[in-house]
Amino acid sequence: MTQFLPNALCYGEGFPGAGGPCHLEVTPDGLWFRLSEAPAELILYGMLSVRAGGFDHDHLVLTWAHPAGTRTLYFKDPAAILAFRRAAPSVLAAEFERTARRVRQARSRRRGWLLAGAGSVVGLMLFLWFGSDLLARSAARHVPIEWERQIGEAARADFLRNQAVLKDGPAVMAVQEMTKRLSDQIPENPYRFDVTVVRSDTVNAFALPGGYVVVFTGLMKKAESPEEVAGVLAHELNHVVQRHAMERIVKTLGLVAIASIVFGNQEGLVGLAKQLGIELLTLKFGREQETEADVTGIRLVHRAKIPPDGMIRFFEKLSESDKLHVELLSTHPMSTARAERLKQELASLPKQEPVPFSFEWTTLRASLEPEAPPSPK
């Protein structure tokens, strides 16, 4: 039995949001791991999928299905990665080869990217001036998920400090069900979504880096059906998956952020982003990002067998509201052109039989209303 204690991070239900160090042990049957003093758990090799992670693709990422949800291990120590490769049985040989091939391709692309960016300071400045969006998107794609999650977790903690968070109840269970339905349909999803419900009349929802989403009860009270809220959730989840918030952060922080990513300076990037704190909520998504979240969102709703017309109906309802100030419009600008684009996308999707949610929407909305004061005797 070969035993080693690598510098690994564990993500999943029951683990810290920013990941927790794991103690690992390799056996002929599988990989044993434990978090702190928790009981050890055996992962059979046949359950594992393998991929590379980190900016330089030098981290080994293992993912497997668990009753509580997808779990992920990040190996950061090169010696630990080598030890695991030597100890793992041949059943993972094909997975390792596919991962190695992807790493070679990714590193080749990265070398080209670094050489192109190292031409001259003047050239870089010109590119930043005329093509900052493109550079921000390219850089954001190279931020490791664990860095991103630390940034999002800090911003969420800042925001929720003075908010009325719902811990349980019909609204929380409904949002959890919607999120699971949607996230289960995201292929090769590297995120573990954490959605928080806040009691507020604000008609809004927003996404933070790393898989954190906040939904206000005002949004649920405004929606006439769960399909409308599911559409907004799908839009927000795709902001996360497409890494739109990280793009905004990189563009806001500029060259310092790009240098931190290129040179693998986790403390530098995460520290700078954390200083933004609650200001992360004010970073506006661009028109292209909103359109991408719309289109990928309605496709996601369709794959989850949720009627997609609810998403269009809700945004149209907000867009056409002239007398009411609806906060959602301030961060999710809706226009007739956007609505028409979604209708065109919906028309291109095949018809299918929807699967209803397990909760009753009228009862859920009633649970969000304040309780009436007791009548005087």
Contact 349, 307 (CB under 8 A): no
Type of residue at 152: G
- According to DSSP, the β-strands at 194-198 and 30-35 are unpaired
Give the pLDDT score at 288: 83
Give the pLDDT score at 216: 93
How far is Cα 7 from Cα 353, in angstroms, rounded to an integer? 47
How far is Cα 300 from Cα 314, in angstroms, rounded to an integer? 16
Q: Give 23's contacts (C-beta < 8 A, 6+ positions apart).
A: 5, 33, 34, 35
Please report the DSSP string for 317-334 in residue order.
HHHT-SSS--THHHHS--
Give the pLDDT score at 209: 85
Q: Give 201's contacts (C-beta < 8 A, 6+ positions apart).
A: 216, 217, 218, 221
Q: Give 8's contacts (C-beta < 8 A, 6+ positions apart).
A: 21, 22, 24, 33, 73, 74, 75, 76, 77, 80
- Output the tens digit of pLDDT for each of the chain's 377 residues: 444 354 567 776 666 555 666 777 777 777 887 776 667 888 887 788 777 665 445 567 788 887 777 777 776 666 667 777 777 766 666 666 666 665 555 555 555 545 554 444 444 444 444 445 666 666 667 677 887 888 888 888 888 888 899 999 999 999 999 999 999 999 888 888 999 999 988 888 888 888 999 999 999 998 899 999 999 999 999 999 988 887 777 776 655 555 555 455 455 555 555 555 545 555 667 778 888 999 999 999 999 999 998 888 887 776 665 334 344 444 444 556 777 888 889 899 888 889 999 999 999 998 887 755 555 55
Out of 3.40.50.150, 1.10.3720.10, 2.30.29.30, 2.60.60.20, the CATH code matching 2-102 is 2.30.29.30
Largest CA distance in the chain: 82
Q: How far is CA 96 from CA 3, 32, 48, 49, 50, in A?
A: 20, 19, 11, 9, 7
How far is Cα 160 from Cα 312, in angstroms, rounded to an integer? 29
How far is Cα 163 from Cα 42, in angstroms, rounded to an integer? 39
How far is Cα 291 from Cα 308, in angstroms, rounded to an integer? 16
First CA to last CA across the chain, in angstroms? 75
Give the CA count within 13 Å in the CB-facing half-sphere of 186: 23
Q: Where are the beta strands (DSSP E) in 12-96?
A: 20-26, 30-35, 41-44, 49-53, 59-64, 71-75
Classify residue 156 by burial, with Cβ atoms within 10 Å: 0-12, 13-18, 19+: buried
Q: Where are the CATH 2.30.29.30 domain residues in the chain? A: 2-102
Q: What is the pTM of this model?
A: 0.60
